[in-house]
Amino acid sequence: MGILVVGSVAFDSVETPFGKMEGILGGSATYFSTSASFFTDVSLVAVVGEDFPQEHVDFLRSRNIDLTGLAHESGKTFHWKGKYGYDLNEAQTLETHLNVFENFKPVVPDQYRDADYLFLANIDPVLQMEVLGQVRNPRVIACDTMNFWISSKPEALKKVIERVDILIINEGEARQFTGEANLVKAAKKILALGAKTLIVKRGEYGVLMFTDSTVFAAPAYPLEEVYDPTGAGDTFAGGFMGYLANSGDTSEEGIRQAIVFGSVMASFNVEDFSLNRLKRLDYKEIEARYRSFKKMTHFEGLAG
C-alpha cells in the first residue's frame, strides 16, 4: 500500500555551526518521500521551476518515487534559507521564496486518488486542502505544518487539522498554534479539533505521542555527530508513515513501532547536509539502529 504526499520540493541554503551550503536539494516532500521510499511506494505531488536540475529528478526516480504528479512550471523553484545556532533544535528562517508555489494548483493524478495513506507535508494549507478534496477515502491522513503557515494562514490550517487523523508538528509550533505553554494542555486542544493522534517533535529530545487516552515518549537517538537538522521532521514523518503503510498496522502498538522507525530515519538524516546521508543509507543500517533503540529504551517493570 503506497503513500501519496504533497509538499515542497526546494532549494535550501542552510547555515549551521558546522558549515554553510547554498542551493542544496531540500523541501518537505523531498525529505518525506525519500525516507518513506525505504519502506513502501511513494508518489509525490509538488512543483519545481525551470532551474531544477535533472540530477535531482534522477535521484528521486532512483528511489522509485513516482513523479507523475511533479509539475514543472516556468519560473524558479521554491527557495528556503535558514540558520541554526549551537542549539540545533529550532531553525531560524531567514528567507522564504515561494516562487512557483505562488500560483500552483496541485493535481493528484487519477491513479492516486484512491491512495490509502496521504501525507500533507509542510506547505500552504490551502494547497493541502485542495489535495484533500481530490482523494477519495484514505485510510490514514497525516499532516505537518510550520510557524510560517501558523502565523500567515491560521484559519485555513485549522480546517486542514480538523480533517486529519494524525498531526505531526514541532513543540514550538504546538504552543504557537494553541496559545498554550504547557504541551499536555496544547495536545488536548489539538485533539479536540478532530485529530485522533498528535505527534510532537522535540528535536534532540525525541517525540511525544498523544491520543485521548494514552501518551508515548520516544527519545531521539544520541548522536556524536550532528551536522544539519534540516529535514529531520519530514524524514521522521517519512519513516513513520512509510512503516505504517508497509505494515498496515494502525493499532497503538503499530503506531509506536512506526514512531521508532521515524526516529531512526531522522537520526540518520541529521548526520550530513541535505539528503546526503539518506543517499548512502541501506535498509540493514535502519534495522540495526531500530534494534539499538529497543535496547536503549528497555527497562524492567516493578516486581509483583
Q: Which residues bind ligand AMP (CB under 6 A)?
A: 8, 10, 12, 26-28, 31, 80, 96, 122-123, 146, 148, 230-234
> 115 or 127, CB closer to ligand AMP?
127
CB 83 to ligand AMP: min, Å: 12
CB 47 to ligand AMP: min, Å: 12
CB 136 to ligand AMP: min, Å: 25
Kindly give the pairing relationship between strand 19-26 and strand 10-16: antiparallel
Q: Establish how many alpha carbons lie within 13 A of residue 145's alpha carbon, considering only the half-sphere containing its beta carbon.
A: 31
CB 124 to ligand AMP: min, Å: 7
DSSP strand E in 133-173: where? Answer: 140-143, 166-170
Q: How far apart are CA 119 and CA 132, in angstroms?
A: 10
> 80 or 261, CB closer to ligand AMP?
80
> 148 or 216, CB closer to ligand AMP?
148
Task: Answer yes or no: are the C-beta atoms of 69 and 43 closer than 8 Å.
Answer: yes
CB 254 to ligand AMP: min, Å: 23
Q: Closest Cα to residue 222, out of 301, 295, 144?
A: 295
Report the Cα 250 to chain-centroid distance in Å.
Answer: 18
Q: How far apart are CA 213 and CA 227, in angstroms?
A: 37
CB 27 to ligand AMP: min, Å: 4
Measured at CB, which residue is nearest to ligand AMP? 26
- DSSP string covering 70-131, please? EEE-SSPPPEEEEE--SSTTS-EEEEEE-GGGTT------GGGTT-SEEEE-SS-HHHHHHH
CB 276 to ligand AMP: min, Å: 13
What are 66's strand-pairing partners? 43
Contacts for 158 with CB less than 8 Å, ≥ 6 apart: 193
Can you tell me whether residue 139 is helix, strand or coil? coil
> 101 or 210, CB closer to ligand AMP?
101
> 146 or 278, CB closer to ligand AMP?
146
> 246 or 269, CB closer to ligand AMP?
269
> 3 or 10, CB closer to ligand AMP?
10
